[in-house]
Amino acid sequence: MPKAFSEHEKETLRAQMREKAKKLFEKQGLKKTSVDELTEAVGISKGAFYLFYQSKEELFLEILEELEIDFRSRIFDFSVSPQEDAHKLLGKLLKGALLTWDQYPLLKNFGMAEYEYLARKLPAERIQTHINQDNEFVNEFIKRIQRQGIAVKASPRVISNLMKSLFFISLHRDELDTNAYAESMTILADLIARYVIEGA
């Protein structure tokens, strides 16, 4: 039976697990990384691991959400000049978000196979919580561009679905060569920006 940890030990071990697991997941992917490897990297028993997480998938999603928080704070850091064309600016923001996403190896390498695997392994309510966080992010993004003086004609529901579509296309990047992926995403970002600004 694993020993009891103090609150300080729990906090320290959780941070170490996230740090070590992130490196393993980046290098090997979710499926190929085992709980044994995760516990060995931190120096704890398998039983101790399950005091913190019900599964390696739960740990992976926690790390993923931590990275997404950082990602979102970075793309929210923008300002609008009165001279800037709203459509071009929004297109640049969407493209910038995609480029920023690619700066995180774990996010960049997160493909459709990993997404489906995670959805199978985690409880439906945990996946729904993650989806709700994504919706909150899109709503906040809309509010921020509106506060910057960009008039939005499309409905929040449609904007949310369009932004999610960019994410889902990114999950299939392996099916396109690098140049085709970059070109397609640039065109889609521009088309979505135009629709958001001009409406139907």
Residue 177: is it exposed, middle or buried by C-beta count within 10 angstroms (0-12/13-18/19+)? exposed
Decide: pTM greater than 0.85: no
Taking each helix axis from N to C end, the angle separating 56-75 and 112-121, rounded to the nearest 10 degrees, works out to 130
pLDDT at position 25, please? 95
Residue 141 burial class via C-beta count within 10 angstroms: exposed 0-12, middle 13-18, buried 19 and up: buried
- CA geometry: angle at 77 spanning 74 and 80, to 5°? 145
How is residue 173 annotated by DSSP? G
Give the number of other CB atoms < 10 A from CB of residue 189.
Answer: 22
Predicted pLDDT at 1: 47
Nearest Cα to Cα of residue 161 among 186, 188, 179, 180: 188
* CA distances (Å), origin 70, targets 62, 63, 75: 13, 11, 9
Task: Determine the pLDDT at residue 91.
Answer: 86
What's the distance, CA 156 to chain centroid?
20
> Alpha-carbon distance 68 to 99, whole Å?
14
pLDDT of 83 reads 61
Q: pLDDT value at position 199?
A: 74
Per-residue pLDDT of the chain (200 residues; tens, 9 = 90+): 456 778 888 899 999 999 999 999 999 999 999 999 999 999 999 999 999 999 999 999 999 999 999 888 887 776 556 566 778 888 888 888 888 888 899 988 888 888 899 999 999 999 999 988 888 888 888 888 888 778 888 888 888 888 888 888 888 888 888 888 888 888 999 999 888 888 76
